[in-house]
């Protein structure tokens, strides 16, 4: 079973690419969706203990959490220490389920793939990327986003140029959705061909 690791900096179109892989029949483990579930479940009280006032009605208030993180230099590391092990557990469960089902290819959507060393858990790395101006426009159009917050998030992420350099495949999401879809289909086709030949590690 080939494990694709999908990653990309904020605003680069990772979620869109993941949906296209899913639409093409590839089982996808969406880390962002897992985090949303955890924020409304088992991670909520753990986060509240470290960041008082961030949980309302049993669910983490992301806006308030973001506000507190901006004031605490160690905040992100503290949050990641809580959330990452839980996300990793869900990922392991997903991989085992798909292995039992006999899936040929799966996709792990991992926002901080390079930053957390997760490339060692996948066989193929796919990076989504686009022109920096397109990225900036997309991110600043999000509700509650500011230039300061955008720069803070970007400073914690591996630079896009380095991601592209380390990728097995790059998907440019700066064009029409159909071009992105075609690239996704192309990558899946290449991987299936390499599976048939018994060679995919260096795809």
pLDDT in tens, 1-11: 999 999 999 99
What pLDDT was estimated at residue 200?
57
Both 52 and 6 in one domain: the answer is: no
Both 116 and 186 in one domain: the answer is: yes
Q: What is the DSSP letter of 116?
A: T
Both 113 and 191 in one domain: the answer is: yes
Question: Starting at the edge strand that comes first in sequence, how are the strands of the sheet with 2-7 ordered?
Answer: 28-30, 105-109, 2-7, 124-129, 169-172
Question: Is 13 marked as a binding-site residue?
Answer: yes
In this prediction the pTM is 0.86
Question: Is 152 marked as a binding-site residue?
Answer: no
Domain boundary among 81, 102, 123: 102
Domain boundary among 74, 102, 130: 102
Question: Is 15 marked as a binding-site residue?
Answer: yes
3: phi then psi, degrees, rounded to nearest 5: -105, 115
Assign residue 110 the CATH number of its domain.
3.40.50.300
Both 114 and 198 in one domain: the answer is: yes
What pLDDT was estimated at residue 201?
52
Both 47 and 114 in one domain: the answer is: no
List, as one string, the DSSP characters of 15-76. Answer: HHHHHHHHHTT--EEEHHHHHHHHHTTTTHHHHHHHSTT-EETTEE-HHHHHHHHHH-TTHH
Question: Is 129 marked as a binding-site residue?
Answer: no
Both 112 and 196 in one domain: the answer is: yes
- How many domains does the chain divide into? 2
Burial class (CB in 10 A: 0-12, 13-18, 19+), 153: middle
Both 85 and 152 in one domain: the answer is: no
Bridge partners of residue 3, in order along the sequence: 106
Both 41 and 114 in one domain: the answer is: no
Both 21 and 40 in one domain: the answer is: no
In this prediction, the residues of the chain whose per-residue pLDDT falls under 70 are: 200-203
Both 168 and 138 in one domain: the answer is: yes
Both 65 and 111 in one domain: the answer is: no
Question: Is 14 marked as a binding-site residue?
Answer: yes
User: Range of 190's domain?
Assistant: 1-27+105-202
Both 21 and 44 in one domain: the answer is: no
Torsion of CA 127, 120, 187, 25, to 10 degrees: -100
What pLDDT was estimated at residue 60?
95
Q: Which residues contact 124 (CB under 8 A, 6 or more apart)?
A: 2, 3, 4, 5, 168, 169, 191, 200, 203
Question: Is 11 marked as a binding-site residue?
Answer: yes
């Amino acid at each position: 079973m080939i494990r694709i690791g999908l990653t990309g900096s904020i605003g680069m179109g990772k979620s869109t690419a993941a949906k296209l892989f899913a639409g093409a029949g590839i089982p996808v483990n969406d880390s962002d969706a897992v985090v949303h579930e955890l924020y409304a479940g088992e991670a909520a009280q753990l986060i509240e203990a470290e960041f008082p006032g961030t949980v309302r009605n049993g669910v983490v208030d992301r806006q308030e959490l973001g506000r507190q993180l901006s004031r605490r230099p160690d905040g992100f590391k503290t949050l990641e220490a809580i959330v990452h092990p839980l996300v990793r557990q869900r990922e392991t469960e997903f991989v085992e389920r798909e292995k039992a089902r006999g899936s040929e290819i799966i996709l792990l959507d991992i926002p901080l793939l390079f930053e957390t060393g997760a490339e060692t858990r996948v066989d193929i790395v796919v990076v989504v990327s686009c022109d920096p101006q397109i990225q900036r426009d997309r991110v600043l159009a999000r509700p509650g986003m500011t230039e300061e917050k955008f720069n803070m998030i970007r400073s914690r992420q591996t630079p896009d140029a380095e991601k592209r350099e380390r990728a097995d495949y790059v998907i440019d999401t700066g064009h029409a959705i159909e071009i992105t879809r075609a690239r996704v289909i192309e990558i899946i086709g290449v991987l299936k061909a390499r599976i048939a030949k018994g060679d995919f590690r260096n795809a």
